[in-house]
Structure 1
């Protein structure tokens, strides 16, 4: 479902973040960006039968934004990658920096828990995650995504069945949607 990569010239912290993202996004494959252009990545995503292209970028060495593109054929039958949304990060705690480290990729989530959301930004982000992961929601899954408001940011955590945090913890400053999911 997802082809995950970095922007050009990633920091070590961004590469670690992309490894974490690959483990928590069901059906994802991580590729090294190298000198590949966005169009090259779109072709690769179609070749690997992935619908979304996820590109993480850094600022001053830290993960700063996640760009999500929908890979499709345009009206002329050419491969295209249309920007779906961007997630602006205010901070990231990598799995190696605390919490339980994942050893196998997550294949599904039981829910996207928005019960601790008090802002419209938090609720909108929960809805966006639900639409993105709708094919991977399975009530019997051992993991859930939990969102809550914290000082103007939305904190996104992945919790195991017993409530332990696994994978990275994201502090989302904001997000911007560009179009339909396709």
Structure 2
């Protein structure tokens, strides 16, 4: 199970991103951090049977970084890459009522496959070809015209983007 939480003193947009990610990522739960330390988060993860942590940090009031961590022997170990965000576009209220869980990861080009493979390993969902039709929703990785990575929720049957869009500034391996 994946626990998704924020850093200390999160802003509204950081909390909303946390909520959106927990809504679309399978086998995940949102943890409202409050004043908990990382050790208290580890204890809570063990109690709930969670072995992975997605930590959303803020900078200048906006979501800035998504850190992936794995719990091994009561120690949180970093999982590459750390995703530095350029921006996020959150879903509108009417789209939030849709029950969407991503079932796979797809990528537009071969140069983003290492990120796709890493996310696939962390989220424990398969990395498949874009034209794979047995899945309905995917976490889709693509590039904009400037070459920066964009993460979207893609309906594979209608080839339509749904809701959350994450614009990635860079990846720290």
Q: Same fold (TM over 0.5)?
A: yes
Give per-residue Cα distances to partners, 1:56-83, cap 9 Å, x unaligned: 011112111011110121xxxxx11111
Q: Match for residue 117 of structure 1?
A: 109
Residues 42 and 53 of structure 1 are in contact (CA less than 8 Å); yes or no, is this contact kept in structure 2?
A: no
Which consecutive aligned stretches of 4+ in structure 1 deviate over 4 angstroms post-superposition?
135-139
Work out which of the residue numbers 149, 164, 167 in structure 2 matches 1:168. 164
Q: Match for residue 149 of structure 1?
A: 143
Q: C-alpha distance in 2, partners of 1:127/1:62?
A: 27
Give per-residue Cα distances to partners, 1:49-107, cap 9 Å, x unaligned: 1111111011112111011110121xxxxx1111113111111111128x94353351x
Query: Alpha carbon RMSD of aligned pairs, Å?
Result: 2.3
Structure 1 residues not aligned, in runs of 5+: 74-78, 178-182
**Residues 41 and 70 of structure 1, relative CA distance in 2, 3 Å threshold:** same
**Residues 102 and 158 of structure 1, relative CA distance in 2, 3 Å threshold:** farther
> Post-superposition shift, 1:7?
0.5
Q: C-alpha distance in 2, partners of 1:40/1:171?
A: 31
Q: Match for residue 180 of structure 1?
A: none
Structure 2 residues not aligned, in runs of 5+: none
Q: C-alpha distance in 1, partners of 2:97/2:166?
A: 16
Q: Give the number of aligned pairs.
A: 166
Q: C-alpha distance in 2, partners of 1:57/1:36?
A: 15
> Post-superposition shift, 1:133?
2.9
Q: Match for residue 69 of structure 2?
A: 69
TM-score by length of 2: 0.85
Work out which of the residue numbers 72, 91, 114 in structure 1 matches 2:87. 91
Q: Which moved more, 1:129-138 or 1:81-90?
A: 129-138
Q: Match for residue 127 of structure 1?
A: 117
